[in-house]
């Protein structure tokens, strides 16, 4: 799945899911420097994205899952690449992993910064109704990855639906 050897200078495009009750777009926007650690990832496929593919300068659609309705709120930028997720070593943390070796941490996180809120919220239903987005991962049935790659065409279409210019940077 890794493509890190090529295109290392090209910002890649992603969608990140967040439950607004856990960490909403507004919460991120109000954070110091509009920045946070993206911790708590405990899925190997997503871990590999973080380890191999998510680079500084990459852009991420910010998606509210388990929301009423779910949908895309804004976009953010990667400001720090993969480093160990400290919550895996904290027995009091809900994401504690007793099997992770501190000398070789199993789980990684990265930092992101909110860039721009969409002028209009784009609900999942609108993504589903748009034939140009029929291959987008987030509209696929049973697609549970909390970080998903997004193509340039999809990125542009979603931003357009959100009332923003389709500039990627």
Partner DNA sequence: GCCAACGTTGGC
* Among 27-35, 48-56, 110-118, 138-146, the segment contacting DNA (CB under 7 A): 138-146
* 60 binds DNA per the rule CB under 7 A: no
To DNA, the closest distance from the beta carbon of 21 in angstroms equals 12
- Three-class secondary structure of residue 44 per DSSP: helix
Could you give the maximum distance between any two Cα atoms of the chain, in Å?
47
Q: Binders of DNA among 6-45, rule CB under 7 A? A: 17, 19, 42-45
Residue among 48 and 168 whose Cβ is closer to DNA: 48
Contact 127, 139 (CB under 8 A): yes
* 96 binds DNA per the rule CB under 7 A: no
Site string for DNA, 98-117 (x = CB under 7 A): --------------------
Contact 72, 148 (CB under 8 A): no
Would you call 98 exposed, middle or buried from its count of C-beta atoms within 10 A (0-12, 13-18, 19+)?
Answer: exposed
Distance CA 74, CA 20 (A): 13
* 143 binds DNA per the rule CB under 7 A: yes
To DNA, the closest distance from the beta carbon of 137 in angstroms equals 10
Residue among 27 and 168 whose Cβ is closer to DNA: 27
> In 9-20, which positions are buried (b, 16+ CB within 10 angstroms) versus exposed (e)?
eeebbbbbbbeb
Q: Which residues bind DNA (CB under 7 A)?
A: 17, 19, 42-45, 65-67, 69-70, 124-125, 128, 141-146
């Amino acid at each position: 799945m890794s493509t890190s050897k090529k295109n290392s200078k090209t910002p890649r495009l992603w969608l990140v899911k967040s439950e607004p009750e856990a960490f909403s777009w507004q919460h991120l926007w109000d954070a110091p420097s509009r920045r946070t650690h993206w911790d708590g990832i405990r899925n190997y496929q997503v871990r590999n994205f973080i380890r191999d593919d998510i680079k500084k300068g990459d852009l991420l659609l910010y998606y509210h899952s388990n929301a009423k309705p779910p949908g895309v709120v804004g976009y953010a930028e990667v400001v720090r690449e993969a480093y160990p997720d400290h919550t895996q070593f904290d027995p009091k943390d809900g994401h504690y992993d007793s099997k992770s070796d501190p000398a070789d941490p199993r789980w990684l996180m990265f930092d992101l910064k909110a860039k721009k809120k969409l002028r209009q919220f784009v609900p999942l239903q609108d993504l589903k109704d748009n034939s140009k987005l029929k291959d987008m991962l987030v509209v696929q049935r049973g697609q549970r990855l909390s970080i998903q790659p997004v193509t340039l065409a999809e990125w542009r279409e979603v931003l357009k639906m959100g009332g923003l210019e389709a500039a990627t940077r």
